[in-house]
Amino acid sequence: MAAMIGKQCGDEDREVTMRRYLRDTTFVAVVLCQAVATLLLGGVALAAEDAVLLASTTPGYAPGMVVAAGDRLRLPEGASVTLLLRSGEMLRLRGPLETALETAVPARSAGSAVALANVFRARGIDASVIGGARASTVARHRLPEDVMLDVQRSGTWCIGPSDTLWLTRPAEDVSALALRRRGNVRSIAWPPGASRVEWPSDVQVEDGDRFGVVVNGKATATLTIRLVSATDRSEAALLAEAMLLGCHEQYQTALSRLARTAVPPELWLTTDRGRNSAAYRSGEPVELIVMANMPGFLYCVVEQADNTTTAVFPAGAIDGARLPEAVPVSLQGHRHSLALQAGPRGTARVRCWLADRDVAPELPHALLDASGSRLPDQLAAELDTIFARVHGSRMAKATVELRID
């Protein structure tokens, strides 16, 4: 190839021509690779964009957090996060994983959750779409709302074109209240006994406007207003937009409700020495750490290497079997449940079940016994069946193995 270029252009220009040739062919190769990738993914060019964390069994990741495209996700083995995309679709990623969304999906235009999941799976990452495409295709008209702005607390509020803004009455007596924006001050009359006043019609609001509130001559808060689009979209897409705009407090309850109805319950279980065949010496204390993607009630047993099974939670735990949402909890920590010790040499197994309600009245009493007595062999063998027979409750299960030396 170099000889051919030399004949065409002269030996003295060979090096310059070769550099140009390599540069141009490299550019063409990159374009072709991107085109092939797009075709392989069904003709959809992908791009990472910011997402909202909808549910989590990963320590350090709480529902409502905004995961920027450049943020590095670090998920330990077995732990998961469910991301709510701007489209209203939901993408679940499970560890082990350490990557940023923009690193995983380096392209120029937005794609669907299905296509994003395909990209992650091609990289060996456990990824799935929650609820399919239905979440983004079922359109719901956004009804007008009364949006209450607390004049004593700074925050961000999202409003639609048909929403009505109200200022809520502060705790102290109001002799004078004003809104201040870019040097302009608008006084507001507060009728005696009124718990709220409507936003003044002559004070126009644009997206991103920040209003300072002055009550009785004292600055009390800064109100930030974001405008949401009026198009018909799914409830999930509207929630994603509002959370990405910063209206967390206003929509956190609705986000939690969406998570409970759309995301299957999950439970992550590990030990103070990790999750993969954590090694202990016989008699050493074992600390169990659990995290659930929904509030629920937890029940755990340990099967020792000698085939004895014992209930370890909630046996004697403060607040019983209750487990908070998206918070890592040490079962042998502040809740003082039955201490777990490594048993005889061999492989022990801890099994836990999470229910979305308190199912203790429907379980054998031995599972709740705080004495640490061995469970009858038949009961131990039927635990999965017992929990499966509980009606009216969504369940999740997790298991971790211990190596006892």
Convert the pLDDT of each residue in 212-255 to its tens digit.
999 888 898 999 999 997 667 788 999 999 999 999 999 999 99
**Residue 378: CB partners within 8 Å, gap ≥ 6?**
none
What CATH number is given for 267-404 in this structure?
Answer: 2.60.40
Same fold flag, 140-230 and 267-404: yes
Helix axes 248-262, 235-244, angle to 10 degrees: 140
Q: Determine if the pTM surpasses 0.85.
A: no
Structure tokens at 327: 């918070």
**Residue 233: CB partners within 8 Å, gap ≥ 6?**
88, 136, 139, 140, 142
Q: Round to whole Å and give the CA distance between 168 and 153.
A: 11
How would residue 38 be classed by pLDDT, with cut points 50, 70 and 90? very low
Q: Reduce the DSSP state of residue 269 to 3 states and report it.
A: strand
Helix axes 2-9, 14-40, angle to 10 degrees: 130
Q: Indicate the domain borders of the chain.
A: 47-137+232-263, 140-230, 267-404
Using an 8 Å Cβ cutoff, are 301 and 311 in contact?
yes
Q: Which of 119-123, 374-378, 400-404 has the lowest mean pLDDT?
A: 119-123
Convert the pLDDT of each residue in 119-128 to its tens digit.
899 989 999 9
Alpha helices in 263-399 (DSSP H): 377-381, 383-388
How would residue 276 be classed by pLDDT, with cut points 50, 70 and 90? confident
CATH for 140-230, among 2.60.40, 1.10.30, 2.30.30, 1.10.760?
Answer: 2.60.40
